[in-house]
Structure 1
Amino acid sequence: MAFIDGIKRQLRSVIEWQNPDPDALLEQWTENGDEIKNASKLIVGPGQGCIFVYQGQVKAIIEEQCLVNLETDNIPFWTTIKKFMQFFESEHKVGIYFFRKTKILDQKWGTTSVIKYQDPKYHFPIGLKAYGNYSYQIADANAFFVTIVGSHNRVGIEAFRKIISARIIEPISDYLAECGYSYADIDANRDEISRGIAIKLAIAFRKLGFSISDFRIEGTDFDEDTTRRINRIADLTAEAQAAQAVGLDYAKVQQLDAMRDAARNESGAAGAGMGLGAGVALGQNMAQGLTAQVQTANTGLEDITAKLTQLKQLYEAELISETEYAAKKQELLAKF
């Protein structure tokens, strides 16, 4: 059997990526341990690419669908490699890696940690969570192999998605810190934010050898601390608008609420007494304020009445004309 196996290793071989796993993004060709034999043929199928690695360095990349006869075709990189391999037997083996050239669609992403930035309008820290999807494809096989693949003989789509998700956080955080969107504006400007983030991601990921496209934000959420702050702002805003609608000063409404809460304190008779006392004191203050307002109004009324009487006397004594009398009278009545 060993003799027959030795003969088989010297027979021609077809090198191709047949029926790749749906999750495979890049995979090393092994063919059950067979070596690259004399008269071997390389087949690169539709939507595939092929990387040749020799002594740890990328020597050539084929990105077009083709059939290559490795014995007779004049391929510079292959001719160079054969000089080091006597009869295709060498201690230095050629690594052949197939990869997908097609675009990988509809990949889900989600922030693995909270994105933190300062709200530009309310000036409090925001903790944002986001999720969405995107598409990508290998654009620079050499850079992809050097920066991502390394010593691995396989890279799966799912594993690579996790790598991308981990690298998305920083560009998103940088963009949100720069764009000046308050928490209330994020959903309304989701498309614009997606486009801005996509530009940053394209620049960052191009260095890793792949391009990213169709980046979208499908939803956002906030952490507990941010949600609590947002709810507090919403409550205060609603109370202020309600107070304004009925003609009340918001500060007075807050004072009434505080006195009411104190009066409802269930911590004992002393607390209840304090609440009642505070409520009585507030009632007295409000009553005093109302009395002062009534007194001020009465004083103004008496003053205008006295001036009208004096004006009538001046007119009857013919000290002012009828026109002057009518104009001054109208002026005083307008104040009333």
Structure 2
Amino acid sequence: MAIMDGIKRQLRSVIEWQNPPADVLFMQWSENGDEIKNASKLIVGPGQGCIFVYEGQVKAIIEEQSLINLQTDNVPFWTTIKKFMQFFVSEHKVGIYFYRKTKILDQKWGTTSLIKYQDPKYQFPIGLKAYGNYSYQIADANAFFVNIVGSHNQIGIDEFRKIISARVIQPISDYLAECSYSYADIDANREEIARGISIKLAIVFRKLGFSISDFRIEGTDFDDDTLRRINRIADLTAEAHAAQTVGLDYAKVQQLDAMREAARNESGAAGAGMGLGAGVALGQNMAQGMSDMTHNANPAIDDITGKLKQLKLLFEAQLISEAEYSAKKQELLSRF
């Protein structure tokens, strides 16, 4: 019975990757074990490639759709293999691997750790997260087998995506450090950044045996420390713009806020003194501010309506009293 089983096994001589699973990229053929039978036929289907590995080394790669008779056809290294065939059984094991040649589309990527670099404009450390998608395909089966497959008998598409995600961080970090994009410019220049990164990735991944294309950045985010710094910059910028809008120097506004806060927090005689001092300083600064507004008025640009708006902003910001607001408002209205 064992002899008949052996004969039957020898007659099963078609080597083919039938109905490959949709989630498999690279797979070792093992239907008849790892022994190539004399008079076997090899079928390489559309969109497939086949690698012959002998004693751990790639000996031949078939990249075109084909039907090959391994006994008679001139296949690279096959004549060497046949020298070891004894009674239809090889004492030297041969590996046959099939792989997808077609492009794998719309693969998601995301940074598994923060991309860190120095913001070139504000000079503080950035912690960036990013995600997007890409397409890829095996371009050099030999390099792919040596650098990626190794001792594995199967590589899945999901498994390979993790390998790619782990390798994209360094090229992205290098590119962002070189291109000098501030945090505020990243989203507006996503396409340009993606093009630059894809060039770097193409160089890295080509050495590993596959090509990457259609690399896109779909979104970015920052870590908590970076967001706190960004929000602080936004607040300070808004305050400085508001001060400029009402014709005040931002440093003076900060000084007035500090004195007002000190007057609120202090108690007793010290608080009263601070409050008095703050009031005097406030009055002096406001008088100076009003004087600057009056002397610097340009009839061609700053009409009375604009001055009234500025005056209201000062009052709403509690930088002048209601009496001062009413008096100055009446003065401006009297010029109509």
**Shared fold by TM > 0.5?**
yes
Deviation digits for residues 191-242 of structure 1 (CA, Å, limit 9, x no counterpart): 0000000000000000000000000000000111111011001100100010
For 1:225-236, what aligned pairs fall within 5 Å after superposition? Answer: 225-236=225-236
| Closer/same/farther in 2, CA of residues 189 and 34 from structure 1, 3 Å limit | closer
Name the Cα RMSD after superposition: 2.1
Q: Computing the radius of gyration over CA atoms, which structure comes out larger, 1 or 2?
A: 1
AA paired with 1:149?
Answer: V
Cα distance in 2, alignment partners of residues 136 and 293 from structure 1:
64
**Paired position in structure 1 for 2:276:** 280
Deviation digits for residues 51-102 of structure 1 (CA, Å, limit 9, x no counterpart): 0000111000000000001111122321121112224422211100000000
Q: CA deviation at 1:35?
A: 3.2
Q: CA deviation at 1:163?
A: 0.4
| Closer/same/farther in 2, CA of residues 57 and 292 from structure 1, 3 Å limit | closer
| Closer/same/farther in 2, CA of residues 273 and 40 from structure 1, 3 Å limit | farther
Check whether the contact 1:260–1:275 (CA below 8 A) recurs between aligned residues.
Answer: no
For 1:1-336, what aligned pairs fall within 5 Å after superposition? Answer: 1-31=1-31, 33=33, 35-265=35-265, 277-288=273-284
| Closer/same/farther in 2, CA of residues 280 and 291 from structure 1, 3 Å limit | same
| Closer/same/farther in 2, CA of residues 292 and 58 from structure 1, 3 Å limit | closer
Residue 123 of structure 1 aligns to a residue whose secondary structure is coil
Residue 42 of structure 1 aligns to a residue whose secondary structure is strand
**Paired position in structure 1 for 2:324:** none
| Closer/same/farther in 2, CA of residues 289 and 111 from structure 1, 3 Å limit | closer
Structure 1, 2-11 or 121-130: larger mean CA deviation: 2-11
Cα distance in 2, alignment partners of residues 291 and 19 from structure 1:
86
Q: CA deviation at 1:279?
A: 3.3
| Closer/same/farther in 2, CA of residues 264 and 46 from structure 1, 3 Å limit | farther
| Closer/same/farther in 2, CA of residues 40 and 293 from structure 1, 3 Å limit | closer
Structure 1 segments (4+ residues) deviating >6 Å: 290-295
Q: CA deviation at 1:289?
A: 5.8
Q: CA deviation at 1:13?
A: 1.2
Check whether the contact 2:34–2:93 (CA below 8 A) recurs between aligned residues.
Answer: no
Cα distance in 2, alignment partners of residues 150 and 77 from structure 1:
21
Total equivalences in the alignment: 291
Q: Which runs of 5+ in 1 are unaligned?
A: 296-336
Structure 1, 207-216 or 285-294: larger mean CA deviation: 285-294
Cα distance in 2, alignment partners of residues 275 and 205 from structure 1:
68
Q: Normalising to structure 1: TM-score of the pair?
A: 0.82
Q: CA deviation at 1:248?
A: 1.1
Residue 86 of structure 2 aligns to a residue whose secondary structure is coil
Check whether the contact 2:60–2:77 (CA below 8 A) recurs between aligned residues.
Answer: yes
Deviation digits for residues 268-309 of structure 1 (CA, Å, limit 9, x no counterpart): xx55875554332121223356789999xxxxxxxxxxxxxx
Structure 1, 126-135 or 1-10: larger mean CA deviation: 1-10
Q: Normalising to structure 2: TM-score of the pair?
A: 0.82
Cα distance in 2, alignment partners of residues 42 and 161 from structure 1:
30
Q: CA deviation at 1:253?
A: 1.1
| Closer/same/farther in 2, CA of residues 244 and 48 from structure 1, 3 Å limit | same
Check whether the contact 1:262–1:271 (CA below 8 A) recurs between aligned residues.
Answer: no
Check whether the contact 1:263–1:272 (CA below 8 A) recurs between aligned residues.
Answer: no
| Closer/same/farther in 2, CA of residues 116 and 277 from structure 1, 3 Å limit | farther
Q: CA deviation at 1:12?
A: 4.3
Cα distance in 2, alignment partners of residues 74 and 248 from structure 1:
88
AA paired with 1:29?
Answer: W
Structure 1, 57-66 or 71-80: larger mean CA deviation: 71-80
Check whether the contact 1:143–1:209 (CA below 8 A) recurs between aligned residues.
Answer: yes
| Closer/same/farther in 2, CA of residues 290 and 260 from structure 1, 3 Å limit | closer
